[in-house]
Chains A and B, each alone.
Chain A
Amino acid sequence: MPEVYDVVVIGAGVVGTAVARLLSHHHLEVALLDAGADIGAGTSKANTAILHTGFDATPGSLESRLVARGYALLNDYAPNVGIAIEPLGALLVAWDDEQAASLNASAEKAVANGYRSASLIDAQSVYELEPQLASGARGAMVVPDEFIIDPWSTPLAFAKEAIANGVIWLPNHSVTKLDRSNDITVISTAEQHTLRARCVVNAAGLHSDDVHALFGLAGFTVRPRRGELIVFDKLARSLLSHTILPVPTSHTKGVLVAPTVFGNIMLGPTADDIDDKTATGSTRAGIDALLAKGQRILPALLHEEVTAVYAGLRAATQHSDYQISHDPTLGYVCLGGIRSTGLTASMALAEEALALLQRCGLVATPKASDELRSIRVTNLGEAFARPYQGGSSGAIVCHCERTTSNEIVEACTVAPTATTLDGIRRRTRALSGRCQGFYCSAEVCALAANASGKPMSEWLGNQ
């Protein structure tokens, strides 16, 4: 561990890990911190998993530019490392006259955002594409390049690559103090760690305003926006072949019905502005509201079993755009107020952060290509080969998701390692299927305990 890091990245969500990955391609000493125990375990884990074209962003905004750039970067990167993307396309469906009238405006907005492949179709064409949709659709805008992506493997791949290229990964580092003097920032944590850095990148998501305030800075406040999601059984997947988007409002992209790369159908999210940055519980009202929406969009969905219900928090602020800033005297770059489009924009946000760090005086010399180590993550997408099909990954342990024993062991032994069952879930899909561990939770725990040396009772969350 160096005396002074060149850069410390605070927050190991999809944005922070993307920044760490890009920095690891340079001759720099970098640490990646997170208050939590794992990569992508905050707001990133509950992302709606769409690779957005940015067709509906505010033209001219940072979000518009970074989503478009990030889309191109991630769409290139993902297949090279094993992150599943399926090129499904989306339908922005209008359900009444007002929405139908606004489709033209949506099409114009797409063009203003530099996206030219959207087209309008009539109701009959909507049902030819999606025969299971509820009756009453008035027409739609087709967005052929709105893809679906694996939201769990993306930050993991970034982190794995960053670590492989020398970034120090420090989980359970909850930053409580930032002191700047003599061009060095002293970072103190609740767990009594002290680190020194020339530059700090704030990618703290829900807590980006808190980190910002540790430098005495203001300008934005994160008001968590809770989004509840319902994941339906894989047998529902054949009901849809596109993502079904609502006509957006200024507040949220609204409730969508989307196939997932894991082979399910997802319904959500709700949008509830709340005060508690840890309130990730689902609510009766939220579940009921989603089911009512689902009934109005895709009624057959409600005949299928529910596999999972969860809630995520988006880092919404009083501003509609990303809150990106830098301060050369503090050696500080802030990537705040980034909501669900952050997954798509992540690699562009990393480029942005690097450019701003350089403006803060950071000298970043790129490594030669032969100095860089590449990585792969296990494909979790149904559309591509899974380990169980290959015959060299051991027996299937999780039958719902067809996760093999070797995948569990790898999740617990290859950095960044899983330290919780949720961590295993996000790396392997084990335990996230329709039975929710009825068959395999004991076996998965036993394999994890054996591979990690940590007793089963700890994996089970027992005291």
Chain B
Amino acid sequence: MTAASHSSVDVAIIGGGPAGLSAALALHQLGITNVVVLERETQAGGVPRHTEHLGYGIRDLHRVTTGPRYSAELRKRVEAAGITVRVGTTAVDWLDDTTLQIADATGLSTIAARCVVLATGVRERPRAARLVAGDRGAGIFTTGSLQQLTANHHQRPGKRALIVGAEHVSFSALLTLRHAGCDVVAMVTPLPRHQSYAALRALTAQRHRVPIITDTNVAEIHGRKRVEAVTLTDGQRIECDTVVFTGDWIPDNELARRGGIDIDIASRSPVVDGSWRTNRRGVFAIGNLIHPAETADICALDGRNVANAVAGWMATNNWPTDPLRIVVEHPISWISPGAVQPRAAAALKHFTLRVSEPVADATICVTQNGAVLWRSRRPRRLVPNRSISISASWLTKVDPAGSDINVTLNVGQPHK
């Protein structure tokens, strides 16, 4: 290791997707300019780079654009601000609280930072992680691998595809497959209905005539050299040469876990408080790493919002410990952030939560020591894999000396 292989910065942002780039821009606007973004891919911009359809930028850029254009815009702004983005650079491990060992084409080196922002994103669980039995022939993808093949390399993945999953990203996969000239024979979901927008479903039903098979999952894949068919858990056999596993997100939490950061058991995300602080001093976490997965613009807003918290930490050197944890009960699977600092001023406006099964006419209750802090009736059905937002207004009512906070769903409870 040479002397030049050690550098120091105020803030090291790990991951140059929408969250990381937006955080860098927001910090720059606050005058914090000694910032480096580490991006392990050869280009910053994250997952939207490969998603060649509309749906990006509504909440942060206030216009609708495609994934590649959206990420290009973020890159352009970062470049214009003169922010250092080191592409082809991987954060390998921690050397101390906020010093990282990194690897790039020149080998290993270190970066010492006063503050680290983890924005390492999310990936889809592949076939093996879902424990789908059968043969391992060619033609098995995730949306991520599929879209890189089609967007970057213009490959046709196959002729007849089955999509596993029926959430937003599953429809994204459908559009990609149709665009690449591959028929989609069906979408399969273990849930009783799809989990995307009704309009998107109506469009695919009409234009692409894709049936959605509900309450069913993939049991086994057949085809030793190339996928030939799939057997579903209901016994049905579907002939196809391509299977795309969509959604079922898992955060890229390896660096967080290597750093001993508390991980939520359901979402597998780092537990952060209302200011995106982890339990590791000087380390924040944002983006889909902490809510697997939201749209790119929501990740970008995390990036904007974390900047003030980072600035506060750098100004005060105060890192509150032992936050109150937020405990959820079935059918809520997780909430993000998963902790709060009752005495600290919260920049946070909303919490995001997910349910594991559809729930009609539910009331969401936030309680502490049995006392109701907040409740909200949701007459519209709550759907798994869709984000459910709740207000953070109850934070002011939290008893700092009290116990953990509970968030529960009461079904059919009359609204008061």
Contacts and interface: CB of A to CB of B under 8 A. Distances in A.
Interface string A287-328: 100010000000000010111111000000000000000000
Nearest to A387: B107
Interface in B87-117: 88, 90, 92, 103-108
Contact of B138 (A235, A388, A402, A462): A462
A303 B226 CA distance: 31
B133 interface: yes
Contacts of A443: 148, 152
A204 B365 CA distance: 66
Contacts of B129: 305-307, 434, 436
Most buried by A among B90, B128, B135, B219: B128
B126 A437 contact: yes
A330 interface: no
A281 interface: yes
Interface stretch (B153-161, B284-292, B311-319, B406-414): B153-161
Interface stretch (A76-84, A153-161, A389-397): A389-397
A235 B88 contact: no
B41 to A, nearest CB: 8
A442 B153 contact: yes
**Main SS of the interface on chain B?**
mixed
A284 B219 contact: yes
B40 interface: yes
A436 B126 contact: yes
Interface in B121-159: 123-129, 131, 133-139, 141-142, 144-145, 148-149, 152-153, 155-158
Contact of B107 (A235, A278, A390): A390
A306 B226 contact: no
B152 A235 contact: no
Nearest to A305: B129
Interface residues of A, number: 47
Contact of A280 (B40, B105, B135, B139): B135
A124 interface: no
Contact of B149 (A235, A307, A441, A461): A441
A453 to B, nearest CB: 16
Contacts of A434: 129, 254
A399 B134 contact: no
A281 B139 contact: no
Given A235-B254, A442-B149, A461 B138 contact: yes
Contacts of A310: 136
A284 B133 contact: yes
A104 interface: no
A281 B105 contact: no
B142 A282 contact: no
Contacts of A463: 226
Contacts of B127: 436
B6 interface: no
B225 interface: yes
28 contacts: A231-B128, A280-B136, A280-B224, A281-B135, A281-B220, A281-B224, A282-B133, A287-B133, A305-B125, A305-B250, A309-B128, A389-B103, A389-B107, A394-B105, A395-B104, A402-B90, A421-B138, A436-B142, A437-B126, A438-B142, A439-B123, A441-B141, A441-B145, A441-B148, A442-B153, A443-B148, A460-B155, A462-B138
Given A281-B136, A283-B133, A399-B40, 11 more contacts: A234-B254, A282-B134, A388-B103, A391-B106, A394-B105, A395-B88, A396-B103, A436-B127, A439-B145, A442-B148, A462-B157
